[in-house]
Amino acid sequence: MIPQDTHLQIGSLLFEGLDQIDLTGPFEVLSRIPNSTYRIFAKTAQPVRDVRGLWLTPDANLADAPQLDVLHVPGGSGQEALMDDDEVLGWIRQQAAGARYVFSVCTGALICGAAGLLKGRPATTHWAAFHLLPFCGAIPVNDRVVVDKSLVFAAGVTAGIDGALRVAAELRGDEVAQAIQLYMQYAPEPPFNSGTPETAHPAVLDAARHSVRAITAQREQTAGRVAARLGIAVPPGAAA
Amino acid sequence: MIPQDTHLQIGSLLFEGLDQIDLTGPFEVLSRIPNSTYRIFAKTAQPVRDVRGLWLTPDANLADAPQLDVLHVPGGSGQEALMDDDEVLGWIRQQAAGARYVFSVCTGALICGAAGLLKGRPATTHWAAFHLLPFCGAIPVNDRVVVDKSLVFAAGVTAGIDGALRVAAELRGDEVAQAIQLYMQYAPEPPFNSGTPETAHPAVLDAARHSVRAITAQREQTAGRVAARLGIAVPPGAAA
């Protein structure tokens, strides 16, 4: 917990083709943390579209970001384009060196991995990319939220809400996080028990794997390149 | 369930001062419904800010909307400014007359109520505004999601995700909704049991009620005006 009178700088990375709720879920929580400034940073000031077409607009350029206390990295298929982007990866490395927390959601973990942050660390990501964590040197943990000192990982998409509430509790204590959760009326009642590969109907899971096969194949290729660049010997069986 | 080969028009109302996840939560679900077009409509084409500062950009003006199959109305404190807005209320009434579903989230229910859609209907809304439903002639039901024929109501903020999955199932069947839920990895694990007034710690609830007292007082005043306009005799005890 950080002293309540310490002002916190919280920032999210925005990029073309992110999955918007990887950003907007945590936004709902992180923008309500007392005595903090929350801003969204991107390579340029231009609006970008999420993977389904939602326009989102950054508050400032990467270069204009102060040292952040919390760096939030969302995912989505647009993550692929950042995996070899020296400007973005360098910015993440530089911010991570001084941040209290780096918080990734979904395949944002792969971006952090490409920046070299995940070597030897427990981590999680979206179920469809989970097998790629060893390519970044991470130890895959099949939990919805993984907290390892200064690194917080949320699994796919909506896990970012749970992860952000954990981050809020780490920063400002349980009561603050509980107040935010109450405001958000976050007492979820999913209509189906279909939110994980373990619980979904096999036919639904097969169709879902089929629908992500193109982006998964691309991610596997990229993961191999990242592993080579980071000098990581991928354990046998980790390859797709 | 609508025949799979019937193309669906799905649209959200966007306005200044909405609570962004009332829109972006359902966006994540509704934008993935097969054979549909999803767009965001507002009074003007200009970007607007949510209650915490997130910029959101509409796809088109209200006047450019086709007849929608699903009209989605989010809430947030900016809802107040729409409660006497003839252009918006008229648009909602006109769309509702031809829509298969009207789906409100949070205090979006009050906007629908001001448009006269809630008379004699069971409904829900954010816990802090729940006592105002009778002023629109609605029958308050303390459920997370209330489905009443063509009207679907989600309670506060994050309930929109649960509500949208219900709408997806109504439109395209359970398997489609389950596939979207799996993609979103929606198997929530809230870190606290603090998401409703009934479960939150009393001190947390007191503080939360205190923090919304200004907007609540304003909403109560508006609700009285709406009841008078709609010719609704508010039952004794319903007033704040």
| pLDDT tens, position by position, A84-95 | 999 999 999 999
Alpha-carbon distance of B121 to A24, in angstroms, equals 32
Average pLDDT, integer, range A122-141 = 97
Residue A28 has pLDDT above 80, yes or no: yes
DSSP state at residue B51: T
Give the gap in angstroms from C-alpha B238 to the nearest C-alpha of chain A: 22
Best mutation target among A51, A145, A189, A196 (most B Cβ atoms within 10 Å) is A189
| pLDDT tens, position by position, A141-169 | 999 999 999 999 999 999 999 999 999 99
Return the number of other C-beta atoms located less than 10 Å from residue A212's C-beta.
16
Place of tokens 């909405």: B18
Residue A31 has pLDDT above 60, yes or no: yes
| pLDDT tens, position by position, B28-71 | 999 999 999 999 999 999 999 999 999 999 999 999 999 999 99
Burial degree of B233 (CB within 10 A; 0-12, 13-18, 19+): exposed
Alpha-carbon distance of A18 to A50, in angstroms, equals 5
Residue B159 is inside which H or E element, if any?
helix B159-172
Average pLDDT for chain A: 96
Nearest CA in chain B to A204: B179
Token duo for residue A159: 């896990």
The reported pLDDT for the residue numbered A208 is 93
Residue B48 is inside which H or E element, if any?
strand B48-49
Residue A239 has pLDDT above 80, yes or no: no
For residue B219, which phi and psi values (nearest 5 degrees)? -65, -35
Say which residues have a Cβ less than 8 Å from residue A206's Cβ, sequence separation at least 6.
none
The reported pLDDT for the residue numbered B238 is 62
CA atoms within 13 A on the CB side of B68: 27
pTM: 0.96
Nearest CA in chain A to B143: A189
Q: Across the interface, do A179 and B204 touch by the CB < 8 Å criterion?
A: yes
Residues of A known to be catalytic: 106
The reported pLDDT for the residue numbered B17 is 98
Give the gap in angstroms from C-alpha B229 to the nearest C-alpha of chain A: 30
Nearest CA in chain A to B156: A185
Alpha-carbon distance of A226 to B141, in angstroms, equals 53
Q: Across the interface, do A20 and B32 touch by the CB < 8 Å criterion?
A: no
Q: Measure CA of the first residue to CA of the last residue in chain A; give whole Å.
A: 40
Token duo for residue B14: 């966007």
Residue A116 has pLDDT above 80, yes or no: yes
Of B28, B196, B207, the CB nearest to A187: B196
Average pLDDT, integer, range A177-193 = 97
Of B145, B178, B205, the CB nearest to A200: B178
Give the gap in angstroms from C-alpha B197 to the nearest C-alpha of chain A: 7
Give the gap in angstroms from C-alpha B166 to the nearest C-alpha of chain A: 7
Query: Which of B106, B145, B152, B176 is the catalytic position?
Result: B106
Q: Across the interface, do A159 and B185 touch by the CB < 8 Å criterion?
A: yes
Alpha-carbon distance of A240 to B21, in angstroms, equals 35
Angle at Cα B139 formed by Cα B133 and Cα B142, nearest 5°?
80
What would the DSSP string read from start to end of chain A?
A: ---TTS-EEEEEE--TT--HHHHHHHHHHHTTSSSEEEEEEESSSS-EE-TTS-EE--SEEGGGPPPPSEEEE--SGGGGGGTT-HHHHHHHHHHHHH-SEEEEETTHHHHHHHTTTTTT-EE---GGGGGGGGGGT-EE--SSEEEETTEEEE-STTHHHHHHHHHHHHHH-HHHHHHHHHHTT-----SSS-SSTTTS-HHHHHHHHHHTHHHHHHHHHHHHHHHHHHT--PPTT---
Return the number of other C-beta atoms located less than 10 Å from residue B150's C-beta.
16
Alpha-carbon distance of A109 to A116, in angstroms, equals 11
Average pLDDT, integer, range A104-119 = 98
Of B24, B186, B193, the CB nearest to A190: B186
pLDDT per residue as tens, chain B (240 positions)? 889 999 999 999 999 999 999 999 999 999 999 999 999 999 999 999 999 999 999 999 999 999 999 999 999 999 999 999 999 999 999 999 999 999 999 999 999 999 999 999 999 999 999 999 999 999 999 999 999 999 999 999 999 999 999 999 999 999 999 999 999 999 999 999 999 999 999 999 999 999 999 999 999 999 999 999 999 988 666 654
What would the DSSP string read from start to end of B90-125?
A: HHHHHHHHH-SEEEEETTHHHHHHHTTTTTT-EE--
Q: Across the interface, do B184 and A145 touch by the CB < 8 Å criterion?
A: no
Q: Across the interface, do B27 and A21 touch by the CB < 8 Å criterion?
A: yes
